[in-house]
Copies of this chain bind each other. A is one copy, B any other.
């Protein structure tokens, strides 16, 4: 079996099936992978896209940031879901008028599993089905929360929620607060939050001025009081400890 593949022109590290399978032999991959369904381990550069197509696929993010994206005919883009290290991602089915793909927003390592070929197993193996159900539900929860964010929060609330969430997810917790290296560009943040890049930048400035977060550089910020940041948004960050019941952290890998 050949294991070389190109991803929209991106350079993708290729592994032998054995390496790939060994590389990701925990969690879902262990449960779903077998001799015929080998997880593809992919190295993605920022901007690399993976087609969703009509196959049922599953992605495990090992490093970086990967997003579930759609775009309209005129180019408007909306990011529905962000996945960082150890998160799982699964895609809804493509719909008319809605392009749908998975995109790396930063250099990333991910593991792709095409479970279409396992349809038979899923129909027969209850444990497999239950695990898949849990994964789809987790993602559905995540999208649900984000829907409310887009429908009812204003710019400041969305940005504070985002900054707090990123601090929980990828921040380094030191004595003086959470240190975060933002791996996303302003455009990407804007497309995730349903805003535009200039507005995001402006709100970042307001956040800095109000001392809710301290931007050391365009891609680095420090949050001294994450509770205060949280309180600026009426919704709890999906990955905060208090909301951790439903996330899929720690069960992926």
Is the C-beta of A125 less than 8 angstroms from some C-beta in chain B?
A: yes
Is the C-beta of A23 less than 8 angstroms from some C-beta in chain B?
A: no
Is the C-beta of A36 less than 8 angstroms from some C-beta in chain B?
A: no
From B126, B133, B151, contact of A125 by CB (8 A) = B126
Cβ of B235 and Cβ of A148 under 8 Å apart? no
B residues less than 8 Å from A133 (CB atoms): 122, 129, 132-133, 136
Q: Quick check: which of A69-77, A172-180, A197-205 contacts chain B, the rest being far away?
A: A69-77
From B78, B130, B150, contact of A129 by CB (8 A) = B130
Cβ of B95 and Cβ of A236 under 8 Å apart? yes
Oligomer copy total: 2
B residues less than 8 Å from A80 (CB atoms): 144, 147-148
Is the C-beta of A116 less than 8 angstroms from some C-beta in chain B?
A: no
* Residues of A in contact with B, size category: 35 or more
Q: Name 30 A/B residue pairs within 8 A (Cβ), A-sorted.
A: A72-B152, A72-B234, A74-B234, A78-B147, A78-B148, A78-B152, A80-B147, A92-B137, A92-B144, A93-B141, A95-B141, A95-B236, A95-B238, A95-B243, A96-B240, A96-B242, A98-B148, A98-B235, A122-B130, A122-B133, A126-B128, A129-B133, A133-B133, A133-B136, A139-B140, A140-B140, A140-B143, A143-B143, A143-B144, A152-B194
From B97, B143, B150, B245, contact of A234 by CB (8 A) = B97
Cβ of A70 and Cβ of B148 under 8 Å apart? yes
Is the C-beta of A145 less than 8 angstroms from some C-beta in chain B?
A: yes
With contact pairs A130-B123, A145-B95 given, residues A194 and B235 touching in the complex (Cβ less than 8 Å): no
Identify 6 new A-B residue pairs, CB closer than 8 A, beyond the known A78-B152, A96-B243, A146-B147: A92-B144, A93-B141, A95-B236, A95-B238, A123-B127, A129-B129
Q: Mark A84-112, 1 if CB is under 8 A from B, else 0.
A: 00000000110111100000000000000
B residues less than 8 Å from A137 (CB atoms): 92-93, 136
- A-B CB proximity, top 3 nearest: A129-B129, A151-B194, A96-B236
A residues bordering B, Cβ < 8 Å?
70, 72-74, 76-78, 80, 92-93, 95-98, 122-130, 132-133, 136-137, 139-141, 143-148, 150-152, 194, 234-236, 238, 240, 242-243, 245-246
